[in-house]
Chains A and B, each alone.
Chain A
Amino acid sequence: MVEYSNELDAVFGSLSDPTRRDILKRISKRSMSVGEIAAHYQLTFAAVSKHLEVLERARLVVKTRQGKTQIVSIAPKALAAANDYLEHYRQLWENRLGSLDKYLKLINKTRRRAGLSGQEGRK
């Protein structure tokens, strides 16, 4: 469990940077060489390599060697774990909106009991 949270922390740490998110988005469509990725950004090759290193440590990407070039591919497992986590955010809102529904039903019930119509409450 502890190991699992460390892994997730690494994933979220990686995702906290917009450039790294952008890299992930690009390579989720197709694998690319490091040079190809770097060409999309106004960053030095070294800076892009550094971002890729962080992504690799979080196991969000894997590098494979094809001759002289390194190919970067997405590693869906870690991303899926992060997605599972972010799913909580959707649930959080879903529950919150459900609570609002509950609250509105409750006050309107009380209001009707008190003999007030919904319209009178609209002043």
Chain B
Amino acid sequence: MQRTVSVVIATLLGVLFNADHGHAHGVVGKRFFPATLVVDDPFVSDEIDLLKVNKGSTNQNGTETSVGFEFSKRLTPDFDLSAGWRYLFQQPTNGPSTSGAGNPEFGFKYVLFRSPEHETILTTGFGAEIGGIGPARVAEKISTFSPGFLFGKGLGELPESLKYLRPFSINGQLQVTIPSDRRTVTTSVNENGDIEQDTEHHPTTIPFGFAIMYSIPYLQSFVKDVGLNAPLANLFPIVEFNWETPVSGPGKKLTTAFANPGLIWVGRYIEVGLEAQVPMNKVSGKNAGINALIHVFIDDLLPNIFTWTPWGVIGPTSAPK
């Protein structure tokens, strides 16, 4: 009896932590989705955004540039935790330039649905920026909490007559960002000795967006070998679109919107991406910004270390039985 229970438990653990090994980073069926630069991708992973840069467009508030990293770690094949941090450089329209560490960001993702034959994945996620940790000159005093959904879909099922469109894929996200406080009030004494109160509103916002990319590896491996060699054979031309709409407070109609055309190159252990950030309305800014990413597949790089969990190694080191 004890032996039977042990076998059942071992089998369950095997199913949970070993059988699903093919799902590390962005693979679903034949489709590989690279990590996108603006829109969060729907995959759980053991990966590092080693360097993530955004030189933002100049808008009515000024210009902000961020340099940061993010580390994500799977605890099961369908669940991961992430932590990130950014260093911010701000050039306000009215005021001196400043810089400093932003607030830390934490999150998790859980895969709700995955269909290899349809190259489809649906994930739920939650992110939190913990306010008041970074210096007040650059970081928000309040925290924000962002539940949402993420999806990915490859077009590999298109009919033969549209086979050259099969390398296209789309992935997107829809979130709600909820502030811990609706407003913060700063009290100060001006040069005349009068007390002044400055109220800053923090609206609930809906960030959403999607990325459309064309996979040259998919084209050459599954549709037609058009004779491209490395590094061109590893390219993913991409356009990401992202919006953020406030749904409360005085800035209710000030939706920001960007188109982000660029290129992603994926090697065996590392991904590099570069995009322009083009504002699509006046609120978003008046000139183009830049997004850049160096992303490392640490589960592939050192699988025995980075796929370790307290419950076992997710990326198993022995062949499945």
Q: Do they bind each other?
A: no
Which residue numbers of A lie inside 8 Å of B, CB to CB? none
